Copies of this chain bind each other. A is one copy, B any other.
Amino acid sequence: MTSKIQLDAFDVKILQELQIDGGLSNQELAEKIGLSASPCLRRVKILEENGIIEKRVTLLDRKKLGLDITAIIQIGMDRHTPKKFEVFEAQLKTYEEVIECYLITGQDADYTIKVVVPDMEAYQEFLLNHITTIPGVSSVTSSFVMRRVVDTGALPLKYVK
């Protein structure tokens, strides 16, 4: 990692727009930020090349897909050795139901994971047959999402200078 990438007001505007709506065409984007199509596209390409734009994804409606349960699970490990963590993480990555997994600081838990399943039966199945069977897992505490108040992953670009 070398020098910081310098962004001007146009770049930030581009990121702001694309972060909210990744489906914008280059022409629409250009109009929104106040540039013509060619320099706008050039900038987007550069932002992709230097990795500031990481990837584009499509968000789906969980309810309409019958995925009615979102759970947040706190997981504690019995021994804090690199090997234990490595095994745990490798195993977790193989589960499609796990849409997030963070190693965190803090009191009781070592990991917070977010799991999506269609119903409680599937949840129980997943917990008993997958999570609790990973060696090293010593505590598991489930919470369930009742309402998603905010769920944009949109970063606060006001801090970017």
The smallest C-beta distance from A74 to any residue of chain B, in angstroms, reads: 9
6 contacts between A and B (CB under 8 A): A18-B57, A52-B64, A56-B58, A57-B59, A99-B150, A118-B159
Once the chains are docked, how many angstroms separate the CA of A151 from the CA of B92? 12
- What residues of B have a CB within 8 angstroms of the CB of A78 in the complex? none
Type the 1/0 row for A119-159, where 1 means its CB is closer than 8 Å to any CB of B: 00010000000000000000001111111111111111111
Q: Answer whether residue A5 sits at the interface, using C-beta atoms and an 8 A cutoff.
A: yes
- What residues of B have a CB within 8 angstroms of the CB of A70 in the complex? 102
- What residues of B have a CB within 8 angstroms of the CB of A58 in the complex? 15, 18-19, 22, 53-56
Residue of B nearest to A12 (CB): B65
Q: Answer whether residue A8 sits at the interface, using C-beta atoms and an 8 A cutoff.
A: no
Determine chain A's interface SS by DSSP, over half rule.
Answer: mixed
Q: Quickly give the copy total for this chain.
A: 2
Q: Answer whether residue A50 sits at the interface, using C-beta atoms and an 8 A cutoff.
A: yes
Once the chains are docked, how many angstroms separate the CA of A97 from the CA of B92? 28
A99 and B152 in contact, given A104-B72, A105-B144, A143-B105 (Cβ under 8 angstroms): yes
Once the chains are docked, how many angstroms separate the CA of A135 from the CA of B67? 34
Residue of B nearest to A88 (CB): B149
B53–A56 touching, CB < 8 Å: no
